[in-house]
Structure 1
Amino acid sequence: MLQEIQEMGSHAKDIYDFLLSGLDPRITDYPLMQSPITMTTILLGYLFFVLYLGPRLMANRKPFQLKEPMIVYNFLLVALSIFIVYEFLMSGWATTYTWRCDPVDTSNSPQALRMVQVAWLFWFSKIIELMDTIFFVLRKKHGQITFLHIFHHSFMPWTWWWGIAYAPGGMGSFHAMVNSSVHVVMYFYYGLSAAGPRFQKFLWWKKYMTAIQLIQFVLVSLHATQYYFMSSCDYQFPVILHLIWIYGTFFFVLFSNFWFQAYIKGKRLPKQCQNSTAVHTNGKYCENGNSVKNGTTNGVSHGVTNGSVHHENGSSYMGKMKKA
Structure 2
Amino acid sequence: MEYINQIDQEIENFRWVSNVTPFSNWKWPAATAVVYLVVIFTLKTLMKNRKAFSLKGFSIVHNINLIILSVAMMTGVLHAAYEQAKEQGAFSLVCEKTDQAVQGRIGFWIYVFYLSKFYELIDTVILALKKRPIIFLHIFHHMAMVPITWQWLNDQWLVGSWWCVFVNSFIHTIMYYYYLQTSLGNPCWFKKYITKAQIVQFLTGTAMVSYWFYIRDSEGCKGSLAPAIVSYVVNTSFILLFAKFYLNSYKSSSSADKKSKSE
Say whether the 8 Å CA contact 1:82–1:180 is kept in structure 2: yes
- Aligned partner of 2:5 in structure 1 is none
- The alpha-carbon distance between structure 1 residues 27 and 59, as it changes in their structure 2 partners (threshold 3 A), is same
Tell me, yes or no, if structure 1 residue 140 matches structure 2 residue 131: yes
Say whether the 8 Å CA contact 2:47–2:131 is kept in structure 1: yes
- The alpha-carbon distance between structure 1 residues 118 and 260, as it changes in their structure 2 partners (threshold 3 A), is same
- Aligned partner of 1:153 in structure 2 is 142
Q: Deviations over 1:243-268 (max 9, x none)?
A: 2222222211111111111222239x
1:48 equivalent among 31, 34, 38: 38
2:26 equivalent among 28, 36, 50: 36
Q: Deviations over 1:33-82 (max 9, x none)?
A: 1x22233222211101111x212322332111111110110111011011
Tell me, yes or no, if structure 1 residue 72 matches structure 2 residue 66: no
Tell me, yes or no, if structure 1 residue 250 matches structure 2 residue 237: yes
3-state SS, counterpart of residue 220 of structure 2: coil
Q: How does 1:233-312 map to 2 (within 5 A)?
A: 233-266=220-253
Deviates more, 1:232-241 or 1:154-163: 232-241
- Aligned partner of 2:108 in structure 1 is 117
Structure 1 unaligned runs (5+)? 1-23, 270-289, 292-324
Say whether the 8 Å CA contact 1:104–1:170 is kept in structure 2: no
Q: Aligned partners of 1:104 and 1:181: how far apart in 2? A: 28
Tell me, yes or no, if structure 1 residue 86 matches structure 2 residue 87: no
- The alpha-carbon distance between structure 1 residues 129 and 233, as it changes in their structure 2 partners (threshold 3 A), is same
- Cα distance, 1:130 vs. partner? 0.4
Name which structure has the greater RCO, CA cutoff 8 Å, separation 6+.
2
Say whether the 8 Å CA contact 1:214–1:252 is kept in structure 2: yes
Identity of aligned residues (%): 28
Q: Aligned partners of 2:247 and 2:55: how far apart in 1? A: 31
- Aligned partner of 1:297 in structure 2 is none
Say whether the 8 Å CA contact 2:98–2:222 is kept in structure 1: yes
Say whether the 8 Å CA contact 2:157–2:223 is kept in structure 1: no
| Matching residue's letter, 1:259 | Y
Say whether the 8 Å CA contact 1:182–1:212 is kept in structure 2: yes
Q: Aligned partners of 1:256 and 1:56: how far apart in 2? A: 29
1:100 equivalent among 68, 71, 94: 94
- The alpha-carbon distance between structure 1 residues 60 and 265, as it changes in their structure 2 partners (threshold 3 A), is closer
Say whether the 8 Å CA contact 2:33–2:143 is kept in structure 1: yes
Q: Deviations over 1:139-194 (max 9, x none)?
A: 111x2x11111111111212221221221644543222221121111111111111
3-state SS, counterpart of residue 219 of structure 2: coil
Structure 2 unaligned runs (5+)? 1-14
- Aligned partner of 1:302 in structure 2 is none
- The alpha-carbon distance between structure 1 residues 114 and 100, as it changes in their structure 2 partners (threshold 3 A), is closer
RMSD of aligned Cα (Å): 2.7
Q: Whose strand proportion is higher, 1 or 2?
A: 1
Say whether the 8 Å CA contact 2:98–2:223 is kept in structure 1: yes
- Aligned partner of 1:301 in structure 2 is none
- The alpha-carbon distance between structure 1 residues 42 and 208, as it changes in their structure 2 partners (threshold 3 A), is same
- Cα distance, 1:102 vs. partner? 3.5
Q: Aligned partners of 1:215 and 1:25: how far apart in 2? A: 30
- Cα distance, 1:93 vs. partner? 4.5
- Aligned partner of 1:215 in structure 2 is 200
Say whether the 8 Å CA contact 2:110–2:153 is kept in structure 1: yes
Say whether the 8 Å CA contact 1:172–1:241 is kept in structure 2: no
TM-score with structure 2 setting the length = 0.81
Q: Deviations over 1:179-212 (max 9, x none)?
A: 112111111111111111xx31xx1112111111
- Aligned partner of 1:191 in structure 2 is 180
Say whether the 8 Å CA contact 1:170–1:235 is kept in structure 2: no
Larger Rg: 1
3-state SS, counterpart of residue 266 of structure 1: helix
Q: Aligned partners of 1:25 and 1:86: how far apart in 2? A: 21
Deviates more, 1:179-188 or 1:130-139: 179-188
| Matching residue's letter, 1:61 | R
